[in-house]
Amino acid sequence: MKKYQLIVVGGGPGGYTAAFRAAELGMSVAIVDDNDLGGVCLNWGCIPTKSLLKNAEVFELINNANSYGIEVGKPKIHFEKIINKTIQARKRLSKGLHFQVRKLGVDFFPGFATFIDQNSIEVDGNTLHGDTFIIATGSKAKHLHSIDHSGENVMTAKEIFSLKKLPESMTIIGAGEAKENILPNEDVEVSQWMHKVLKRKKVDIQTGTMATEINDEYILVSIGVEGNSSGFGLKKIGIEIGSNNHIIVDKNGKTNLDNIYAVGDVIGPPWLAHVSSSEGLYVVEHIAKLSPKKIDYDCVPACTYSKPEIGSIGLSQKILDERGIDYKVVKSFFNANGKAVASDSTEGFIKILVSDRNQILGAHIIGSNATEMISEFSLAMSNNLSVENILDSIHPHPTFSEAIFETLMQLR
């Protein structure tokens, strides 16, 4: 029986980040995953979907080449090459993770972990003993009871990468279809803007309804996720599991068993890779008694990788109104931004919510590069910087990010 100071169950962003940090701090570490390292994020989520999105952007750019004074022929799609490109991106990054495993001296056990007791797990016949454990098993897609998921034409995001050809038609169930607006967690104005963009692209949007009879070639079910907590023997050793199969943890990520922690999607929302990584770092440094700074979940940036992109952080107007918090609103449109006009990317706006003390309460961006720009607000809010602090910083011109400066200048 091999013994480790820390065993991490799950090799996604929360898991491998925790394992690497623990190794850097001198702990003996093992990481277990029944798939390749990287989790859903690297293998079926964050990375391969962005590769698909880039292909769509290139296709759209070629179709609009005439507006740039460039004449090209009609583009032809080779879908198998597109899917292969996502696989290559995934393999390249996975190779980098395995390099880090070897470099840091982390032992990787490919296989499914089952807890024997609170200090031991079994992985494909091997027993590993650990002083401390971090469960980072992520989440899995929810199924819709009104849809027969056994059909080959019904998919979750994972099965997208098994397609052999570009679908002729597809119904996507999710994005807030049972709600009043699409993107129900975003600012209402952002949601309404995206609704108009999709309508212009001839996407049939039906909100406030439930899916019944669907005649499209494929159905993509995207109604959310649940904790991936089943099959690991957690209930057997007494780990408390809450609603939606999420593991219950305290403010430090500790379960009801003193030596077992959990991070990432398996403990509930927000289901974001960067939150998982932050929780992994925090828990390891807490275990090492380094007194890490608590994660402020009101300062977590969220990104929607659509076209235009959406980036948001902090509170929305609706929540501020519900809480009775006084605020000011400043907003500007990208059609007044030099870089946006020069690059023909004027879709969208920036909306910033500011307190009476000139602190950023929330920011909501829809437009090109929104997912990159939102980081400036993350830095400001996480460090309690004021509007004046941002305005005292010189923003380069011409850039999309200077729109943040220009928007906040309305408060001077």
In three-state secondary structure terms, 179 is: coil
User: ω into residue 398 within 30 of 0, thus cis?
Assistant: yes
Paired strand residues for 360: 354
Question: DSSP assignment, residue 247?
Answer: B
| H helix or E strand, kind and range, residue 190 | helix 188-200
Beta-bridge partners for 171: 219
143 is catalytic: no
Structure tokens at 5: 């100071």
260-262 and 302-304 beta bridge pairing: unpaired
- Report CA-CA distances (Å) from 382 to 113, 313, 370, 404: 36, 11, 19, 17
**How many Å apart are CA 117 and CA 120, to the nearest integer?**
5
Beta strands in 251-359 (DSSP E): 260-262, 302-304, 309-314, 328-333, 348-354
- How far apart (Å, rounded) are the C-alpha atoms in residues 327 and 353? 6
CB 296 within 8 A of CB 282: no
> CA-based Rg of the chain, rounded to a whole angstrom?
23
Peptide bond into 184 cis (omega under 30): no
Number of separate helices (H) and strands (E) present in the chain: 11, 17
Task: Report DSSP state, residue 130.
Answer: E
Please provide the DSSP assignment of 328-378 as one string: EEEEEEGGG-HHHHHTT---EEEEEEE-TTSBEEEEEEEETTHHHHHHHHH
d(CA 392, CA 288): 38
Beta strands in 21-169 (DSSP E): 29-33, 107-110, 113-117, 120-123, 126-135, 139-141, 154-155
Say which of 78, 143, 246, 397 is annotated catalytic. 397
The conformation of residue 162, written as its DSSP 8-state character, comes to G
Q: Tell me which residues are annotated as active site.
A: 397
